[in-house]
Each structure stands twice: as C-alpha cells, then as structure tokens.
Amino acid sequence: MISKSQMKFISSLSQKKFRDESRCFVAEGTKLVADLVTAFDCEHLFVTPEWKQFHVLPKAVQPLEITTEELKKMSNLKSPQGILAVFRRPDYSIDNILFENKLCLALDGVQDPGNLGTIIRIADWFGVEDVFCSEYSADAFGPKTVQATMGAISRVRVHYVNLSDFLNNLPAGFPVYGTFMDGENIYSQQFNTSGIIVMGNEGNGISDAIAQKVNRRLLIPNYPTGVETSESLNVAVATALVCAEFRRRM
C-alpha cells in the first residue's frame, strides 16, 4: 500500500523546488514510462489493477499497486493512464563534450513547458544530442515537459548553464547561429553543418546579451516575402525548420 507521505512526496514533484531538492521527476503513461525506464533509475513505479490487466510491465521494475483514486491524487494528467513512475534525474557533465563536428541547441529562455518538450522531441528526431538551456528556461523535468517529449528526454541530454559563460567558453570561431528578422536567408546561405543553434524566448526572442555572441544571423523567410503574415513562428516550429535545413545539407 502507498503511504500518505509517499503520495505527498510524489504530488510535490509537480513543483520545481521539490524536484531540485530530491533530484526526482515524474512520468506517466505506458509508452513514456517504458522509454524512460531504459535510461533513468526508476525510484517508484505505481500501476492500477486495471492497467495490470492489459499491460506487461516494463523491465524488471517492481511496481506497487494503487487504486485509481490514489493515482488521480498524484497524477498531473486530466485522464491518468494507469501507470506513474518516479525517476532519478540524470547528472550530465558538459566538460567532456567534443563540440567539433557536432550540432547542438541552446535555448535562451524558452518558457513554455510544452514548447520545451516539443523542442526536445525535435532535437531527438534530428540527432541533436545536447540541448543547453539558460537558467531562465522552463524545467525539462517538469511534468508537462516530460510528457511533451514523448520519451525523447531519455535520449537527449538537457543541460542548464549560464548561457553567456557557456558561449564564451566555446572554441574561438566556433559557429553560433541564431534567427533574427534581419538575418540572412537560411536557404541561400552557406554554413557549416556543425555549431550551436540559439533559439530565443517565445515573446522576446534572443536576449541582447546572447545576441552579441551569435556570429551567424539567419532568417527563416516567410512566403510570399513582404506580404503581411503571422509575425513569427512558434519557437518549436522555428527550431524544427532550422534543424531540418542543417540536416538536409549533410
């Protein structure tokens, strides 16, 4: 049986400060838990009797059976899916990353958990292994983000850094890309297929301090150029378009 204090602990993980303290995070749903269990240490696994009737357990993790009511109290989903797991958050070091020949993403204050999750999923799709988030970005291990990654969080390493210091410490001349309204058309430019692609905040784009570190300013053109259209693309959509263009050229 699950204890009250256990339930309280798991509910608390919807808040960042308790995730930071415990270094734990929650994931829900059959496919997501199955993906994550291969990558992270599973601290707790809860399933309902209804779930057990129709599913096989992922790997050799020992589950605790709980009632649908108990699950509802801990779940972050509108419709809980019968399985909830608590994982230990990974500790990645950035010291040994070899940036040469590597394409990475840097996020300068992406705030929406859904956008961040979608960006991690996009990174995974395009083989981007490392995503560097400024301290003002959403938490990759928050419940909404984890769910939105659809499992990609188990394959993409998300690092939180002082983005300005991080960019300063890159090898001299290392390409740092960003998209700007006055950038150069991404489809008609020559560029390396390695480097860091910086994506900005949903409302404000790339901050001035970080914009100064960008040495290749790109533009995603709209169509037809010059006619009034939406003023901007969603940041996850823009990330996908830039990654696709880098990968198309490889």
Q: Which residues are near a second copy by CB under 8 A? A: 114, 118, 121-122, 124-127, 150-152, 155, 187, 220-224, 227-231, 233-234, 236-237, 240-241, 244, 247-248, 250
In the bound state with a second copy, the residue whose beta carbon lies nearer, of 145 and 167, is 145
CA distance 87 to 20: 13
Phi, psi of 192 (to 5 degrees): -60, 160
Report in angstroms how near the CB of residue 65 gets to a second copy at its nearest: 28
In the bound state with a second copy, the residue whose beta carbon lies nearer, of 26 and 123, is 123
Structure tokens given for 60: 């050799």
Report in angstroms how near the CB of residue 164 gets to a second copy at its nearest: 29
What is the SS3 assignment for 10-43? HHHCCCHHHHHHHCEEEEECHHHHHHHCCCCCEE
Residue 30: how many other CB atoms lie within 10 Å = 17
CA nearest 76: which of 117, 17, 24, 29?
29
In the bound state with a second copy, the residue whose beta carbon lies nearer, of 24 and 149, is 149
Report in angstroms how near the CB of residue 149 gets to a second copy at its nearest: 8
Report in angstroms how near the CB of residue 31 gets to a second copy at its nearest: 9
CA distance 18 to 9: 8
CA distance 94 to 233: 30
Structure tokens given for 134: 């400024």
CA distance 228 to 163: 34
Run of H or E residues at 185:
strand 176-185
CA distance 3 to 46: 12
The dihedral built from the CA positions of residue 232, 219, 216 and 113, taken in this order, carries a sign that is positive
In the bound state with a second copy, the residue whose beta carbon lies nearer, of 66 and 199, is 199
In the bound state with a second copy, the residue whose beta carbon lies nearer, of 103 and 206, is 103
In the bound state with a second copy, the residue whose beta carbon lies nearer, of 32 and 66, is 32
Report in angstroms how near the CB of residue 232 gets to a second copy at its nearest: 8
Report in angstroms how near the CB of residue 78 gets to a second copy at its nearest: 13
Report in angstroms how near the CB of residue 210 gets to a second copy at its nearest: 24
In the bound state with a second copy, the residue whose beta carbon lies nearer, of 135 and 231, is 231
